[in-house]
Structure 1
Amino acid sequence: MFHSSGHNHRMDVFNPRRQKEKVVIVMGATGTGKSRLSIDLATCFPAEIINSDKMQVYEGLDIVTNKITKEEQRGVPHHLLGILDPNEDFTARDFCDLTSLAIESVLGRDRLPIIVGGSNSYIEALVDDHDYKFRSKYECCFLWVDVSVPVMHSFVSGRVDHMVQNGMVDEAREFFDPNADYMKGIRRAIGVPEFDKYFRYGPLLDEETRARLLQQAVDKIKDNTCKLACRQLEKIHGLRNNKGWNLHPLDATEVFRKRGKDADEAWEKLVSGPGAMIVGQFLYNMTAEVPPHIGSLRVPAALAAATH
């Protein structure tokens, strides 16, 4: 495991011979494990995480927007997460401005910025800005956590059921406003407008009709989430195939087909281990083959030696 200490990390993590600072960007469709990978990487390398999900930037609706919990963050500093008033607009330009500030702040602490989230159009606006200032300042390593579409859709459906069990309906009810604009602020999030009819008419209806309205809302959330995942995937393919982004795919499909310890082992073998190796090579300009099993995200000896 790479352990950070009190000394200056920039000479370790960032090659002093290069002018560009280094940034890691973790991409993928909703529910594929982007946040989990970013945490794994941040416990392996001295790093801080910058959220690039345009709904998770808002305060509130933690279940609806599937925010990473404090426990899941494992002490890793997060930026642009739950900081914005729910009624404010948050544009791609706003994201670029705040993320640029966050990157400089993280680099100022001699840490690696890891940008993670599903708002790929915002990431594109950041990286491929009109005058290419971003690419002139930073060198990027793109990790793409991928899951086959049928497996992803099945998981998304189960995740929505789990969110409902964890209090999603009551959380969304607190934000219900019959005069709300679902095109503004956090109310654009999937899991808010779908409940409108249920919250609006439910109290006036009999129990059976009310239950049917609730199920229709949940089914619509599942459908819209699957459609979102497909759009995200299409966008990622476009960035790779049409714009030439050098994305490193990490196929997590087998992880989602397994359970318990087997799933954790598959995650280390197929996602977190190779991901750590790719980032290590990116940071230290080393070449090495990905071992079949890294286990507990231990940085390979060749990479670890480069840090001392």
Structure 2
Amino acid sequence: MLLGPTAVGKTRLSLELAEAYNAEIISGDSMQVYRGMDIGTAKISTEEMNGIPHHLIDIHDPEEAYSVAEFQEQGKRLIAEISSRGRLPFIVGGTGLYIESLCYGFRFSEAVADEAFRAEQDAYAETHGAEALHARLAAVDPASAERLHPNDRRRIIRALEIHHQMGTTLSANKAEQTRESPYELCLIGLTMDRKILYKRIEDRIDQMLEQGLIAEVRGLLDKGYHRSMVAMQGLGYKEIAAYLEGELTYEEAVTLLKRDTRRFAKRQLSWFRHMKEIEWIEDFNEQNYPGNLAKIREIISRKLDR
């Protein structure tokens, strides 16, 4: 598995490694599953794939919410199918919970969907704001509140729903999960100097805007994909939608998007840092690319030769 924050450079490296090790890539990104959301998710194009099979990309329309449990089920199936073809399953991404759930076979809460409760919480957030809903979670499950951003309404409501139905917390449920993996894992993490990463993030957002991010979001809104949908809460979509609907100026939307993406990258790194099995490449950048590629090949060879 190749892990790391947004804009660190996973895509280019993943293609080189997949070709070298006869691998098929499984996307570990919770947003690239959505069709028609290409620019804002930095989705790899068919041409860029260079013939290497990629899975779990463009499998849902934006109105269909995608869950970690669905990812886990599909990931397990794909690992078995790819292995049966004599190829190497290669998971690449930055959505920590998705990747960890697949690595360790997490069991998910038995709490069922309570649409009335969800609607009540959603209405509360609309009336009182995202911070107020986040405060509700902090009162009953401070550990989950610390981990979840106030704008992550869907997961906040799910955590509240678990507490409402089962009298336990999402964080307690997670703490009970096994750390044993059914797989022989090779986890490689990429990171770099924080200032360099943040500059790469800002440059990528500028590039997305040049490539037509505003037109992409406008097209989604015109198709009726409203801002309350899970997909439309993704970085780049909610900020530009707010601009298009007159809530933010263009400059405010871009500034907010860059800030929130920097914060997202920081949360990604915090999540991955507690996965002790990851072998980190700390100074991953263009200048060090050949040397880092050699280090990564050494790590993979050591794991494969066990």
Conserved? CA contact 1:32–1:252, under 8 Å? no
Q: CA, structure 1 residues 170+142, in 2 after alignment: closer, same or farther (shift >3 Å)?
A: same
CA distance in 1, matches of 2:45, 2:191: 22
Question: C-alpha offsets along residues 262-307 of structure 1, whole Å, 9 cap, x if unaligned?
Answer: x4xx31222x22112211221123xxxxxxxxxxxxxxxxxxxxxx
CA contact (8 A) 1:107 1:113 kept: yes
Distance of 1:57 and 1:215 partners within structure 2: 29
Greater share of residues in strand: 1
The residue that corresponds to 1:35 in the other structure is: 11
**Equivalent position of 2:121 in the other structure:** none
Matched, 1:120 2:165: no
For residue 279 of structure 1, give the secondary structure of its aligned residue in structure 2: helix
User: Structure 1, residues 147-179: CA drift from partner, whole Å, max 9, x if none?
Assistant: 121111111011100111111111111112698
Aligned length: 237
Alignment-derived partner of residue 60 in structure 1: 36
Query: Is 1:234–2:270 an aligned residue pair?
Result: yes
1:137 aligns with 2:137: no
Query: Could you report, residue by residue, the CA deviation over 1:16-72 in whole angstroms, capped at 9, with x for unpaired residues?
Result: xxxxxxxxx111011111222211111111110000100011111211110012232
Q: Separation in 1 of the partners of 2:224 and 2:22?
A: 46
Distance 1:179 1:167 in 2: 19
Tell me by how many angstroms 1:136 deviates: 5.1
- Give me the whole-angstrom Cα distance separating, in 1, the residues matched to 2:77 and 2:231: 23
CA RMSD of aligned residues (A): 2.2
The 3-state SS of whatever aligns with 2:6 is coil
CA distance in 2 between counterparts of 1:195 and 1:36 reads: 27
Separation in 1, partners of 2:219, 2:182: 43
Q: CA separation of 1:97/1:250 partners in 2, compared to 1, >3 Å: closer, same or farther?
A: same
Matched, 1:250 2:281: yes
Q: Give the one of 193, 199, 216 matched to 1:148.
A: 193
Q: Is the 8 A contact 1:176 1:199 kept in 2?
A: no
2:291 matched to 1:269? yes
- Classify the secondary structure of the residue corresponding to 2:26: strand
Alignment correspondent of 1:186: 231
1-structure distance, mates of 2:290, 2:252: 37
* CA–CA distance in structure 2, aligned partners of residues 53 and 144 of structure 1: 15
Match of 1:163 in 2: 208
What TM-score, normalized to structure 2?
A: 0.72
Normalization by structure 1: what TM-score? 0.72
Are 1:197 and 2:218 counterparts?
Answer: no
Describe the SS at the equivalent of 1:226: helix
Paired residue for 2:26?
50
Residues 198, 262 of structure 2: 8 Å contact kept: yes
Indicate how the Cα distance of structure 1 residues 66 and 230 shifts in structure 2: closer, same or farther if over 3 A, else same. same
Give me the whole-angstrom Cα distance separating, in 1, the residues matched to 2:181 and 2:83.
16
Question: Does the Cα contact within 8 Å between 1:151 and 1:253 map onto a contact in 2?
Answer: no
Name the CA distance, whole Å, in 1 between partners of 2:284 and 2:299: 19
> For the Cα contact (< 8 Å) 2:218–2:244, is it kept in 1?
yes
SS of the aligned residue for 2:221 comes to coil
Structure 2 unaligned regions, length at least 5: 108-176
Distance in 1 between residues matched to 2:79 and 2:282, nearest whole Å:
28
Letter paired with 2:291: K
- Mapped to 2, the partners of 1:156 and 1:130 lie a distance apart of 31
| Contact 2:5–2:269 (Cα < 8 Å) also in 1 | yes
| Aligned residue number for residue 283 of structure 1 | 304
Q: Which residue type is aligned with residue 235 of structure 1?
A: W
Return closer, same or farther for 1:69/1:130 CA change in 2, 3 Å cut-off.
closer
Show CA shifts across 1:194-242 (max 9, x none).
123321239xxxxxxxxx8112111111111101000001111122xxx
Aligned counterparts of 1:87 and 1:214: Cα–Cα separation in 2: 26
Structure 1: gaps (5+ residues): 1-24, 203-211, 240-244, 256-262, 286-308
**Alpha-carbon distance in 2 for matches of 1:218, 1:49:** 31
- Partners of 1:133 and 1:107 lie apart in 2 by 24
Residues 1:85 and 2:130 are matched in the alignment: no
Is the 8 Å Cα contact of residues 62 and 225 (structure 2) preserved in structure 1? no
